[in-house]
Amino acid sequence: MTQGARNLGKARIVLVHDWLTGMRGGEKCLEALCRRWPEAPLFTLFHVPGSVSPMIETCPITTSFLNDWPGISRYYRFLLPVMPLAVNRLRIPKADLVVSLSHCVAKAVRVPAGTPHICYCFTPMRYIWHLQEAYLKSRSTWSRLPLEPLLAWLRHWDRATARGVTHFVAISETVRKRIAECYGRESVVIYPPVDTDFYCPARVKRDEYYLVVSALVPYKRIDLAIKACNQLKKHLLIIGRGPEAKRLRALAGPTVQFAGWQPDDVVRDHLRKCRALLFPGEEDFGIVPVEAMACGTPVIAYGQGGATETIIPPTSAHEPTGLFFAEQTSEALAEAISGFEQQAEAFSPQACRRQALRFRRQRFEEELFGYLDQVAGLVSAPKLRRIAA
């Protein structure tokens, strides 16, 4: 148990999360807090039972009125205009500390007066800020017009409710800058945890295929990976599901395969065997590239966002763990793949693994729990290490 865990052991902690519909990167961060405080009340907009880990499921979960809407997990993405009302109606009990984990509206929860509220911010709402166009460009002109006033109101609301947060923690330097731009607030950076015990190398033969592991949504830019591999006639395996599946399948040539959703052990098996992971989107942090490196696999990524904080390129003084392409086009990605193959021997599994270990779960818990102690006034300010090369 960490020093932070001991100090806050008897404190009244309340947790808030946007929604509980699956185990993605945000839920893996939440899981660490639920493991530390299994009896802490957990507030969320809606919850699909059985969709998250047993550690989270056993917490006392309180949902908003949205949870009563039939089949909400199928259409919740269309309910953004209602979510401010839903989070506003959550009634948070008296506590020593409220911790929200937010990429949408969780940070806007109303806490009792005088209660410290730490927001572990995955990003300011990407739908209304930096990726607004990416979310809207697939919509027809007639449907975009009434959305623009709504998004302007949501930006105003999002900025105003940031005042209810006493301390922001960003998941990356990329997000720290967004918090400053969108909310005018300072934040500290604590990188998310990666399960480097589970994601680890194995003695398996490498295959010649490239891999994408991702939700199939527009901003992930899976279309770039498909087009690049079509052009180069390279084998590509795509693991994931989402609303873009039909469109992406229509783009795919004969060398591209879709595996749909797969359990973690199957994903790990492919991360160990693929030639490299392709990561064409701009992410807030990006856990999948670190999981790939933990398995000894290099990453070819778009050179913006969180990936630039976790992947070591050949231009670094350190051993490389991947490379970047500068323009978010299929041509630039195809060129990067060709360049990777010309210098593939430069990317050692050992270097990839070493880099991934800098983001291990134990480091996350030490830094986050230490910071919670600091806010609660139990210890002096912890030293947050800058861990990415």
Report how far residue 274's alpha carbon sits from residue 291's, in angstroms, rounded to the nearest whole number. 13
Q: How many CA atoms lie within 13 A of 352 on its CB side?
A: 29
CATH number for the domain spanning 350: value is: 3.40.50.2000
Q: How many residues does the chain have?
A: 389
Residues 6 or more apart whose Cβ sits within 8 Å of residue 246: none
Assigned domain for 386 exists: no
Query: Do residue 24 and residue 165 come from a single domain?
Result: yes
pLDDT cut 90: percent of the chain above it:
78
CB distance 240 to 219 below 8 Å:
no
Query: Do residue 176 and residue 36 come from a single domain?
Result: yes
Assigned domain for 293 exists: yes
Residues 6 or more apart whose Cβ sits within 8 Å of residue 86: 45, 64, 65, 66, 105
Quick: pLDDT tens for 40-90: 999 999 999 999 999 999 999 999 999 999 999 888 888 989 999 999 999
Strands (E) in 326-376, as ranges, are none
Query: Do residue 150 and residue 262 come from a single domain?
Result: no
**pLDDT lower than 70: segments of the chain:** 1-10, 131-146, 378-389
Query: Do residue 233 and residue 163 come from a single domain?
Result: no
Domain count for the chain, please give it: 2
What is the span of the domain harbouring residue 278? 210-357
CATH number for the domain spanning 170: value is: 3.40.50
Quick: pLDDT tens for 168-223: 999 999 999 999 999 999 999 999 999 999 999 999 999 999 999 999 988 899 99
Q: Which of 84, 117, 2, 92 is nearest to 42 (CA)?
A: 92
